[in-house]
Copies of this chain bind each other. A is one copy, B any other.
Amino acid sequence: MQLQTMLRFRAGWAEAEGPEHAVVLSTRVRLARNLRLPFPSHLGPAGLKRSLDAVFSAAKTAGLKDAAFFKLADLDDADRAFLVERHLASPALAAKPAHRGLVVGERENLTAMVNEEDHLRLAALQSGLRLREAHAAVDRLDDGLSAALDFAFRDDLGFLTACPTNLGTGLRASCLMHLPALTMTGAVARLIEGLTRAGLIARGLYGEGTRVVGDFFQISNATGFGRTEAEILAALERSAAAIVAREKEARAALSTGAARVKLEDEIHRSLGLLCSARLVGFEEAQQHLSRLRLGLALGWKLPADLALVNELTLSTQPAHLDLLAQKELTPLDRDALRAALVRRRLKAS
C-alpha cells in the first residue's frame, strides 16, 4: 500500500542536506494553474471528473510518470489525514474528497493537487534554502504539463487563478524555518511584524494564534502578481537569508558564555524526556524535538541527526501513528506509541 511505503521512507526534502538546512528545514515553490474551465468551486461532478482525468493523464506522460496517483475519494479519512500531515495535501483538498486528486512524485519532492481551489497546484519541495532549484523543478513540471494541457492565461493578467492573490505568476514560494533561538529570546514576534510590512507572510507551522509549537515558521510571499517570478524568489531569498543570519547570531549568543550551561541543560532535558517518557503528547514531542534539533544544529554530540529529527517531527503526528498502528488509536495509546517510537528511533541512532 502506497501510504505504508511513504511511512517507511523518509521524504527527500527531510534529508537535511540543502544549504542552511540547520535553520531552513525545507523550501517549497508552488504554481497555481487552471484549465480553460470554470474554477473547481463552480464545477459540478462531471466537470470536476473531466478536469481530474485530464490532469492525471497529462501527468502520467509529463514528469510524473513514476509518481503515486491518489483519488482522494478512494482513501479513508485516516489516509487523507496522513497526506495532510505529510504536507502533501492541503486540508481543503482532504475536506472535499469527491473528484479531488493528488499526485506525489518520487521521494515526495514533487506534488500536484487536482481540483483544490485551482485545477492544479504544482509544488516542488527541497531540503534547505533552495528557492531557485525548487522553482526550476516545478517549472520543468509545469512545462511538461503545458504541452498536454491548455492552461488559462491572459496576456494582461498572466495565469488565471481562483483567488486574485495568486493571479499572474501563480507562484507561492515558502521556506519552513526553525527559529528556536529567536523564539527563546523573544525576538521572533518583532521579526514577523517586520516581514508582514515587507509583503511577506509568516506563520507558525503548528499551534494556533500566537502559540507556536516546535518553533517552526513558514515564510512566504503574500501575492503572485505585479512582479516576475525571479523578483518574488529574490525578495523571499533575501528575507530568508537575513532571518537565517539572525537566528544563527541568537544561537551563538545562547550557546556561549554563561548562557551555555542553561541551554545545555534545556537540550539535555529534552533528550532525556524523549528517551525516557512512556506517554508523550504531540505538542510536547514537537517542543522537545525542537530543542534536540537546536543542539544538533549547534554541532553538539547528541544521539541523533537532523534527518532523524525531521523524520520524527513528521512521524509523531496523530495520523502517522494511526497508519503505523494500522488502526485508529485512542489518545492514550497514541501517546504511548509516540513515546515508544521516539525512544526506539533515538536508541537505534
Contact A332 B261 (CB under 8 A): yes
Q: How many residues of A contact B (CB 8 A)?
A: 17
Which residues of chain A (261-320) have a CB below 8 Å from chain B? 261-262, 264-265, 268-269, 271-273, 275-279
Q: Which residues of B contact A272 (CB under 8 A)?
A: 272-273, 275-277
Residues from chain B with Cβ under 8 Å of A278 in the complex: 261, 264-265, 268-269
Interface flags for A322-342 (1: CB within 8 Å of B; 0: not) read: 000000000010001001000
Identify A261's interface contact among B261, B269, B336, CB under 8 A.
Answer: B336
Contact present for A261 and B277 (CB under 8 Å): no
Question: Across the interface, which residues of B come within 8 angstroms of A271, CB to CB?
Answer: 276
A341 to nearest B CB, angstroms? 15
Closest to A269 in B: B277
Which residue of chain B is the closest to A264 with respect to CB atoms?
Answer: B278
Q: What's the least CB distance linking A284 to chain B, in Å?
A: 11
Could you tell me the distance between the alpha carbons of A279 and B277 in the complex, rounded to whole angstroms?
19
Give the complex CA separation of A261 and B330 in angstroms.
Answer: 14
A268–B264 CB distance below 8 A: no
Look across to chain B and name the residue whose beta carbon is closest to the beta carbon of A280. B265
Residues of B contacting A339 in the complex (Cβ-Cβ under 8 angstroms): 265
Q: Which residues of chain A from 214 to 269 have a CB within 8 Å of any chain B CB?
A: 261-262, 264-265, 268-269
A338 → B minimal CB distance (Å): 12
Complex Cα spacing A265 to B336, Å: 9
Q: Which residue of B has the minimal Cβ distance to A335?
A: B265
Q: Is the interface of A mostly helix, strand, loop or mixed?
A: helix
| Chain B residues closer than 8 Å to A269, beta-carbon distance | 273, 276-278
Nearest chain B residue, comparing its CB with the CB of A279: B265
Bound complex: CA of A339 vs CA of B272, how far in Å? 13
Q: How far apart sit A339 and B276, CA to CA, in the bound complex (Å)?
A: 17
Nearest opposing residue in chain B for A263, CB measure:
B278
Complex contact B279–A262 (CB within 8 A): yes
Q: Which residue of B lies closest to A272 (CB)?
A: B276
Q: In whole Å, how far is A184's beta carbon from the nearest beta carbon of chain B?
A: 16
Q: How far in angstroms is the closest Cβ of chain B from A296?
A: 15
CA distance A278 to B259 in the complex (A): 12
A257 to chain B: closest CB distance in Å? 13
Contacts of A277 in B (CB 8 A): 265, 268-269, 272
Taking CB atoms, residues of chain B closer than 8 Å to A332 are 261
Question: Quick one: which of A272, A277, A332 has the most chain B CB within 10 A?
Answer: A272
Nearest B residue to A275, CB-CB: B272
Interface centre among A262, A264, A265, A332 (most CB of B within 10 A): A265
- The distance from the CB of A331 to the nearest CB of chain B, in whole angstroms, is 12
* Cα distance A265–B275 in the bound complex, in angstroms: 11
Cβ distance A337 to chain B, nearest Cβ, rounded Å: 11
Most chain B Cβ neighbours within 10 Å, of A265, A271, A276: A276
Known: A268-B278, A269-B277, A273-B273. 17 other contacts (CB 8 A): A261-B278, A261-B279, A261-B332, A261-B336, A264-B278, A265-B277, A265-B278, A265-B279, A265-B339, A268-B276, A269-B276, A269-B278, A271-B276, A272-B276, A272-B277, A273-B276, A275-B276
7 contacts between A and B (CB under 8 A): A261-B336, A264-B278, A269-B277, A272-B276, A272-B277, A275-B276, A276-B276
